[in-house]
A and B are shown apart, each in its own frame.
Chain A
């Protein structure tokens, strides 16, 4: 009985939303918009934690949303959750899928039920007509942004220590590609290129071994913040200066708050980010504040320079605490 009543209410709400959709646009809306989010659990990574928080803050009651969430690393559990949201009668279904396959059936059902689907963070292997838009990151862009920044520094010579993440991961491939192109073109010299598999301590060992070998280097390109921190620890112990006005340029990725604070203090030079903030873009699309001509929307990747970074950037874009 309860379920039935909920269904009826949900149906009425959905209907009223459709009716008032045009009127609600721009003004924040007087009726709540029901949004079902199928995501990976926040424990997956710092990225996901920020992503989940972002979703919760944007799709809040104050902004006129009724948010329902389901978190799982398993595709079949995610599919079930999506099914549940469709039965419940949400207006919008937001999905970051664990796997790219197996979603046809569910998305077709959503379409039949008049539920609009947005993909975020990850693409799904389905026909474009089944979703409204996909807000995703372009991993290769992230590396390019960082390498372009490095080229802008106009150093006389680039002797780079390249510390890679776990080989084969999306982030590693995206962050390595642009730098590899520079190595191949001969504009930068590869002092050493090693994977530390995201391990801070391993990164420290790699840099230590280069220092001990006496080879000259002036750039450390670490594919995440933790490894950059490990590399800097090795520099500190060997008495090599780094950061703004230092001998060695330090570059990291992810934009953890603590890492951005290192930037602000001038200990590091650059921090790039694969932006976990897609909620605002989707919210704007839902409310009709913005429109997109293409279905695939590339989320803008950020890169922060120690010289231009401000405290408010840290508060806005920093991950974690």
Chain B
């Protein structure tokens, strides 16, 4: 409710656009089908009591995107550019996860943790690779990450070979679907955990402030004693952690890795989530919560279109239209114009008590 207070108390925050987008989508769906957001409690085929419904599908389905968007926000803020290799890197992380699981004699809690740690380390190394190119060699982030974007899925292929290896284990199933006894999908819980971890990280360190200052003006930050190279590198390594988490969720959902399709095209959705979240794509001020809401907006849009039986080949086109609108409305130019317009209206009415949008 904090965002709402901000919304009405003037000084429309960064979250205005994503929140308005979500509200509009909810209203649209409720008009279209009043039962759209109905949640049902039922038994799944494993005999667990679980929640199902469109709302659960949306929140659950957006999990990978939300996790990636958190890391992407940090990279965007620090470097003023985006990592377009997250999908390919997630395929690598997922492949490593499956490779380790398959080489273990039996899959138990320990091997799953080991596999995840291996995937995490590999993803962090690839993140560091991107980070070095960007931070040390000062290559444009999109160009630097283009390398991994191009070769990432080939690397993933080398790890496991051409077929689609599967892993079946109750633990993997619990990560990707439901933990027995908990009716909420596990990926949703993982997103919540990641969000809390980020909150704690920002609370106990000055990373948020440092990232922001590096993003706003790297040289000025350096003159103030902030190692901007390190901050940029760190943002990519943190994104690497997010990538491995997203890859793990993706693999666990089905207990299968298809290096060609795992989180395919997710990089574009991730960048969009960051943009819809009202973050400046040129670096500087950022809000991770905005990106998370952005991820849910994208997923809600997809599920809405599916529910309307729009052909999935057309979904991308419809999505593009909505997103163009959102991004244009959220652009500084429109915001400024809108702000001026509101100011004008205000001064005409001579009301000071209610400050409008800016």
Contacts and interface: CB of A to CB of B under 8 A. Distances in A.
B43 A239 contact: yes
Given A198-B260, A199-B264, A205 B164 contact: no
Given A209-B307, A239-B43, A49 B163 contact: yes
A235 B45 contact: yes
Contacts of A43: 154, 157, 162
Contact of B46 (A44, A46, A199, A236): A236
Q: Which of A45, A204, A213, A319 has the most CB of B within 10 A?
A: A213
B55 to A, nearest CB: 9
A237 B302 contact: no
Interface stretch (A17-25, A118-126, A222-230): A222-230
A239 B42 contact: yes
B163 A239 contact: no
B253 A233 contact: yes
Contact of A241 (B42, B45, B46, B157): B45
A314 to B, nearest CB: 14
Contacts of B164: 46, 225-226, 256, 258, 320
A45 B166 CA distance: 16
Contacts of A201: 250, 253-254, 261-263
A281 interface: no
A202 interface: yes
Contacts of B43: 239
B311 interface: yes
Contact of A320 (B53, B163, B263): B163
Interface in B43-71: 43-46, 50, 52-54, 57, 61
B347 interface: no
Given A202-B312, A226-B261, A320-B164, A236 B177 contact: yes
A8 interface: no
A238 interface: yes
Interface size class of chain A, counting residues whose CB lies under 8 Å from the partner chain: 35 or more
B163 A167 contact: no
Contacts of A106: none
A156 interface: no
A97 to B, nearest CB: 20
Contacts of B264: 197, 199
A206 B313 CA distance: 12
A226 B162 contact: no
B256 A208 contact: no
A48 B162 contact: yes
Interface size class of chain B, counting residues whose CB lies under 8 Å from the partner chain: 35 or more
A309 B154 CA distance: 34
Interface in B68-116: none
Interface in A159-200: 167, 192, 194-200
B8 interface: no
B314 to A, nearest CB: 10
B303 A195 contact: no
A321 interface: yes
B44 A200 contact: no
Contacts, number: 117
B163 A46 contact: yes
B306 A209 contact: yes
Contacts of B44: 236-239
Contact of B57 (A42, A212, A320): A212
B203 interface: no
Given A233-B254, A237-B177, A238-B52, A195 B312 contact: yes
A209 B250 CA distance: 19
A225 B255 CA distance: 13
Contacts of B260: 198
Contacts of B309: 192
B130 to A, nearest CB: 24
Interface string B147-182: 000000010010001111110000000000110000
A64 to B, nearest CB: 29
Nearest to A192: B309
B258 interface: yes
A46 B259 CA distance: 12
A239 B165 CA distance: 25
Contacts of A235: 45
A96 B303 CA distance: 41
B175 to A, nearest CB: 13
Contacts of A256: 163-164
A194 B312 contact: yes
Contacts of A298: none
A211 interface: yes
Contact of B254 (A42, A204, A239, A319): A204
B313 A237 contact: no
Nearest to A258: B166
B45 A236 contact: yes
Contacts of B307: 209, 212-213
Rank and list the top 8 A-B pairs by shortest CB-CB distance, nearest first.
Answer: A320-B163, A209-B306, A49-B162, A199-B261, A236-B45, A258-B166, A46-B163, A194-B312
Interface of B: 42-46, 50, 52-54, 57, 61, 154, 157, 161-166, 177-178, 185, 250, 253-256, 258, 260-264, 302-303, 306-307, 309, 311-313
16 contacts: A44-B162, A201-B250, A205-B57, A205-B61, A206-B306, A208-B61, A209-B303, A229-B255, A237-B50, A237-B178, A237-B185, A240-B45, A241-B45, A258-B165, A258-B166, A321-B163
Given A197-B312, A201-B253, A321-B165, 14 more contacts: A46-B163, A49-B162, A49-B163, A195-B312, A201-B250, A201-B254, A202-B261, A209-B57, A226-B261, A235-B45, A237-B45, A239-B44, A256-B164, A258-B165
